[in-house]
Amino acid sequence: MQENALKGPFPMGIFNMSSLTIVTFYENNLNGRIPNNICQHLPNIQALNLGINQFDGPLPSKLWQCKQLLTLELRDNMFSGSIPKEIGNLTRIKKISLVTNSLTGTIPYDQFGYLPNLEVLVLYVNNLNGHIPSSIFNMSTIIALNIGLNQLSGSLPANIGLALPNLEEFRAGGNHLSGIIPKSISHASELQILSLGGNSFSGFIPRTLCLSTNLEWLALFINNLTIDTSTSEVNILSCLANLRNLRYLAFSSNPLNTKLPVVYGNFSASLQNLYLKDCSLRGNIPSDIGNLSSLIVLSLGHNQLSEPIPRSMGRLLNLQGGNQLSGYVPSCLGNLTASLRTLYLDSNLLNSTIPSTLWGLTDILQIDLSSNSLIGPLSDGVGNLKVATHINVSYNQLSGSITSSVGSLLNLVNLSLAHNNLEGLIPSSFATCISLE
């Protein structure tokens, strides 16, 4: 009965089918409360999937009577109140998903330690508070643990990872966690996803993460973390190159206060997203950054990087934008014609002319070169950006007249040329820009 448009309260008629083992009303428009005696009427139920509906009220306090229950999926509803401590009596349960509700209170302290078969526990996007129960980190069967986007506080246990041999995913971002990230996290040898961004962690990013050879996703952004630079050859930014499966790396908005590694080419070819914005980074952008052939997003803005953007950037043919860099605008960016949709180079110290090859990005939708020191004219080539919707070159030192070729940009919604040294008449061709707002 999943993925329909069913409405109304929980269908009590199924209570007449006591032999049911699977009840799925996933993604409908059912509402009201789940009957507290559901397990009394469905004693053999093994899977209860009521996700993506409009159920509200508290979770049934007698769910523990469903002794055969293996899967409890109640995500994306409007449940409120606390998680009943009796949930610890579901000794056969393998998956509990209470994602995106309005649950409050603490995570039951010891009860999860009594669930010897639990593999997946997802509680993110609620209003849970208090400390994370230590018993959660002793569940040797757990594979995925997601408690992000709550109001949880406290620190991670010093021995985290030692009792989690099967853990593949740990997400606890968007809370109020503090303290250090324990070195023992690397003992969770199967770990693929570690997401702790948006907390108040401090201290060094543990170099032991470089031993997590299965790691694919590492998100530690918006904390107060730094890098131990006492031994340059094991700097975390260098040794992470050992992680051949790494696809996503986000350290933005941490006071790393270090130099970028001289060599980037050793990073895995699988790296797709690299976020190092606002990290107090110094030095040059490595010339071999063009070897990261799978890179889609590169964010290095708001640092103290020097020297021009390397010409090897032109080899990043999968780059899709969302990037902030410093230096002059290299002509090789024109090589990215087939993939680039958005280009943000605003709020830097770019001081060159706009290379003519940039106007060859015929598939680009948004381009922002504002708040730099760009010089020279806005050439007729801008008229080649036929599908562009947003062009912003304000707050530069552009000069000369405004090119009439702008009139051929029929999809243009926003055009900002403010605060430059442009002169002359506004071209009459602007009248053809029918989408301008």
Query: Do residue 166 and residue 297 come from a single domain?
Result: yes
For residue 397, give the CATH number of its domain: 3.80.10.10
Q: Give CA separation, 151 vs 74, 103, 130, in Å.
A: 20, 11, 7
Query: Which of 278, 307, 336 finishes a domain?
Result: 307
Position 232 scores a pLDDT of: 58
Query: Do residue 200 and residue 182 come from a single domain?
Result: yes
Terminal alpha carbon distance of the chain: 46
Q: Which domain does 205 fall in, by range?
A: 155-307
Query: Do residue 172 and residue 276 come from a single domain?
Result: yes
The residue type of 206 is: P
Distance CA 177, CA 201 (A): 7
The answer to whether the beta carbons of residues 360 and 335 sit under 8 Å apart is: no
221's tokens? 């952004």
**144, part of any domain:** no
Query: Do residue 423 and residue 333 come from a single domain?
Result: yes
Residues 6+ apart with CB under 8 A from 230: none
Query: Do residue 49 and residue 103 come from a single domain?
Result: yes
Position 322 scores a pLDDT of: 46
Residue 383: how many other CB atoms lie within 10 Å: 16
Total number of domains constituting the chain: 3
**147, part of any domain:** no
225's tokens? 């973390």
The answer to whether the beta carbons of residues 180 and 157 sit under 8 Å apart is: no
Q: Got the DSSP string for 111-179?
A: GGGG-TT--EEE--SS--EEEPPGGGGG-TT--EEE--SSEEEE---TTTTTT-TT--EEE--SSEEEE
**146, part of any domain:** no
User: In this structure, what DSSP letter does residue 50 have?
Assistant: -
**Phi, then psi, of 313 in degrees rounded to 5:** -55, -25
Query: Do residue 162 and residue 298 come from a single domain?
Result: yes
Q: Rounded to the nearest 5 degrees, what angle is found at the Cα of 303, between the Cα atoms of 209 and 228?
A: 30
Position 262 scores a pLDDT of: 57
Query: Do residue 167 and residue 299 come from a single domain?
Result: yes
Query: Do residue 388 and residue 300 come from a single domain?
Result: no
Position 102 scores a pLDDT of: 96
The answer to whether the beta carbons of residues 320 and 297 sit under 8 Å apart is: yes
**150, part of any domain:** no
**302, part of any domain:** yes
**Phi, then psi, of 404 in degrees rounded to 5:** -70, -10
Tell how far CA 373 is from the center of its chain.
Answer: 32
**341, part of any domain:** yes
**301, part of any domain:** yes
Q: What is the mean pLDDT of each run of 10 residues along the chain (437 residues)?
A: 81 86 93 92 94 94 90 96 90 96 91 86 96 91 96 95 94 97 94 97 94 95 90 71 89 89 66 88 77 79 69 65 53 61 74 82 86 87 89 91 87 90 88 79
Position 98 scores a pLDDT of: 97
Query: Which of 250, 278, 307 finishes a domain?
Result: 307
Query: Do residue 316 and residue 300 come from a single domain?
Result: no
Query: Which of 307, 323, 340 finishes a domain?
Result: 307
**405, part of any domain:** yes
Query: Do residue 4 and residue 130 come from a single domain?
Result: yes
Query: Do residue 47 and residue 96 come from a single domain?
Result: yes
Query: Do residue 298 and residue 321 come from a single domain?
Result: no
Position 1 scores a pLDDT of: 66
